[in-house]
Chain A
Amino acid sequence: MSCSRRDFLKDAAGAAFVSSLPLSAFVVLTADEAKAAVANATVRWGYLVDTNKCTGCGMCVKACKNENEIPYDSPVTRTWVERYVVTKDGAIHIDSPDGGRDGFTSDKIRDEEIDPDSIAKAFFVPKLCNQCDNPACVQVCPVGATYKTEDGVVLIDREWCIGCGYCIMACPYGVRFFHPEHKVADKCNFCYHRITKGMMPACVESCAFGARRLANLRDPDDPVTKIITTERVAVLKDEYGTKPHVFYLGLDNSVR
């Protein structure tokens, strides 16, 4: 076996680099950090979507894009509305043109004409970030650019994100996308700048039908929390174990 001095040096430097990476990941909690971990337990944001009330006007998508400076004509959005039309033969037709930004003004689904007499049921399902308790997107971030705040909202640090896209692949709900201007991952954060000022998220504010509502799950007197805790609600893709915190009333089995 031969090993030149140059090769040996190269290998040694490489090994030292690799072995130092896990070392740098060890962080000891300071007293202040430990205190912060248990404090501020008075707020945990949740969200309630009543699919029975949604009319598919898409005002929420429009408001979200304007409020959060998401390029209006780019095919990306933090929230979107899906239309489901189930016909009597059991076929399910789904569409969401431009994420429902301009509403649903045509009865055609993907250029397909559907006979109104053949429709068994039709409904609209708004989707947004589920602000999971076990967010898969946060687990996979290699640089600590996305994280869960104490009030349960998952945020993205635009300064720190390197745009690798792992989180976009990891989210089982497909809510993450690549922001075309900031060149980082982006997603709904319940309008964090609004809810921390006592305002409602832009989508909740713009919904004329009360289909979208925000809840503080730690406040038992919150009217929306009461609905979530006392009525029959469902979450999306419960089997993934992500513990989503967007709850749905009237969720149909055909919704994916």
Chain B
Amino acid sequence: MKRHVLHPLWVAIGVVGLIFFARLLLVPDDFGVHGDSFTYNYHRLGNIEEWKDFPVKYQGTATCSECHNDNARTHRRSPHKRVQCENCHGPAGNHPDDVEYLPLNKERAMCLRCHADLGYPASTARSNLPAIVDRHHKRGRECVSCHNPHDPREDVE
């Protein structure tokens, strides 16, 4: 064959070889089809474990109750029992190991998330909760200065 055909052919074959070699080095061993579908299951297997190792922050009311007995007991008997501790107290994370005190959100806006009267019909779940009109009821004051958030039926002494 003529030189002007063979020469570029070798170059082309070399480039293809180079791409396969680069692929061998760059693509991790666990990359492949891990499932029944090439379209949906083509991935790096190790990534699943990486996601499983993501740190958990919200530990749940049961965990809080292990130490904070008094508040947990009051809370358990109150209409607020379905509200998780960490909704207001923030995620526990590794408390008390890392963080000794959790920042407590006492803002009025916190309570208004559920207890602001929006004037919706009774078919709206929100309308079945006790509610205030923000601009009419004790404007600007913190709700917790009068109402005990662990048991809202009790007043604060």
Contact = CB atoms under 8 A, between A and B. Distances in A.
Contact of B86 (A27, A63, A192, A210): A63
Contacts of A134: 40
A29 B58 contact: no
Contact of A12 (B11, B54, B117): B11
Given A16-B15, A33-B34, A37-B41, A192 B118 contact: no
Interface stretch (A52-60, A171-179, A221-229): A52-60
A119 B42 contact: no
Q: Looking at B53, B57, B134, which has the most chain A CB atoms within 10 Å of its CB? A: B57
B11 A13 contact: yes
A5 interface: yes
Contacts of B48: 149, 155
A168 interface: no
Interface stretch (B65-73, B124-132, B149-157): B124-132
A23 B17 CA distance: 12
B101 interface: no
Interface in B1-60: 4, 8-9, 11-13, 15-16, 19-20, 23, 31-44, 47-48, 50-58, 60
B82 interface: yes
Contacts of B37: 148
Interface residues of B, number: 60
A193 B49 CA distance: 9
B36 A145 contact: no
B52 A27 contact: no
B118 A122 contact: yes
B120 A103 contact: no
Contact of A56 (B19, B36, B84, B126): B126
Contacts of A122: 118, 120-121, 124, 126
Nearest to A103: B113
Contact of B113 (A54, A59, A194): A59
Given A12-B12, A119-B119, A208-B84, A202 B58 contact: yes
Contacts of A17: 15, 19
A135 B125 contact: no
B116 interface: yes
Nearest to B53: A193
B123 A121 contact: yes
A62 B95 CA distance: 19
A13 B12 contact: yes
Interface of A: 5, 8-9, 12-13, 15-17, 19-20, 23-24, 27, 29-30, 33, 36-38, 52-59, 62-63, 66-68, 85, 102-107, 116, 119-124, 134-135, 138-139, 144-150, 155, 157-160, 189, 192-194, 196-197, 199, 202, 205-206, 208-211
29 contacts: A5-B4, A13-B11, A16-B16, A20-B19, A27-B32, A53-B125, A55-B129, A104-B126, A105-B116, A119-B119, A120-B121, A121-B124, A122-B120, A122-B124, A123-B125, A124-B125, A147-B40, A147-B41, A147-B42, A155-B48, A155-B51, A158-B47, A160-B47, A193-B52, A193-B53, A196-B52, A206-B84, A208-B83, A209-B125
The 9 closest A-B pairs by CB, nearest first: A103-B113, A116-B119, A147-B43, A193-B54, A16-B12, A122-B120, A57-B113, A157-B47, A105-B112
